[in-house]
Amino acid sequence: MLSIEQLERILREALPGAEFSVARPKQPSNPWWLDIVLGPQTVTVEWRPKQGFGISSNSSESYGEGPDEVVEDTALAGARIIYLLKTGTSTESPRDVELRRLREEKDISQEELARVLQMSQPAVSKMERRGDMSISTLRKIVAALGGELELVARFPDHAVRILHLGEGETT
């Protein structure tokens, strides 16, 4: 079963009152579209094989825009979409935020984060003030806060996502 079909199954089970519309491309490698409507709230999912799910709520009706959020993991995408539809929350494009501010927005204390990361609270405090850290450490912090890290390299004529970096042991 394809990831988009798994996602649809998850959502249909969790949102029995929602309406679903799926657009399947003729070429399997092209994007799929899944529109979910629950009351006044709409979430549109663009799924690209091997690239993940692009998620947008009805926050913007502008023509030809890309998705607000991109999530690779199917379960994480499902949880995000269910949350958006049930709470009426809007998706938003990524904004600039410092790690400390991000942690505070998630209502997680330094002590709690330290426990998850198996380090001391002072180490977390020091880490939040640092201007540099390993990608694997950053990936763990983001995961501990409930998200996933995505690395994108932009060039004048294209952009690529860099895979499998920082997924090993902390260095």
Alpha-helical runs (H) found in 15-169:
74-87, 99-105, 110-117, 121-129, 135-144
For residues 35 and 128, which CB has a smaller minimum distance to another protein in the complex? 35
60-99: string of b/e by CB count within 10 Å (b at 16+)? eeeeeeebbbbbeebeebbebbbebbeeeeebeeeeeeeb
CB of 100 to another protein, least distance (A): 24
The pair of structure tokens assigned to 146 is 């409930």
Select 6 or 41, whichever has its Cβ closest to another protein: 41
Closer residue to another protein, CB minimum distance, 62 or 118: 62
CB of 26 to another protein, least distance (A): 6
Least Å from the CB of residue 59 to another protein? 10
Cα–Cα–Cα angle for 28, 8, 3, nearest 5°?
A: 45
Question: Which chain residues interact with another protein by CB under 8 A?
Answer: 21, 23, 25-27, 29-31, 33, 35, 37, 42, 44, 46, 48, 51, 54, 56, 58, 60-70, 93-94, 154, 157-159
Closer CB to another protein, 8 or 46, in the complex: 46
User: Which residue is associated with the tokens 């079909």?
Assistant: 5
